[in-house]
Amino acid sequence: MIDKRMALPELLKKQADSDVVRDMQAYAADRIVEMEVEARADVAKGARSPVREVQRKWLSGARRGTRAGRIAPGGPQS
């Protein structure tokens, strides 16, 4: 049976595959950092608390008053 696995140092020696390996290492490092942050914050990435959702809904539907008058959310229309 053929073993299709290769040790990381052998894979790095191949010039054509070095970019792929570098990208894989960067992805793994990013994922590890995300997991550490989630563990410390005790909140999953992208999770929203009910308080923040209410605040977002209020901000999205609110009309804001300015010295020049009232403007709708989303800014002035051109």
More confident of the two residues 75 and 38 = 38
Residue 56: is its pLDDT beyond 70? no
Q: What is the pLDDT of residue 14?
A: 66
Per the prediction, the chain carries an average pLDDT of 71
Angle in degrees, CA 12, 16, 18, rounded to 5: 35
Whole-angstrom distance, CA of residue 23 vs CA of residue 35: 18
Q: What is the pLDDT of residue 21?
A: 77
Residue 65: is its pLDDT beyond 70? no
Helices and strands in the chain, H and E counts: 3, 2
Q: What average pLDDT does range 6-17 have in this prediction? A: 66
Q: What average pLDDT does range 28-41 have in this prediction? A: 89
Whole-angstrom distance, CA of residue 73 vs CA of residue 61: 7
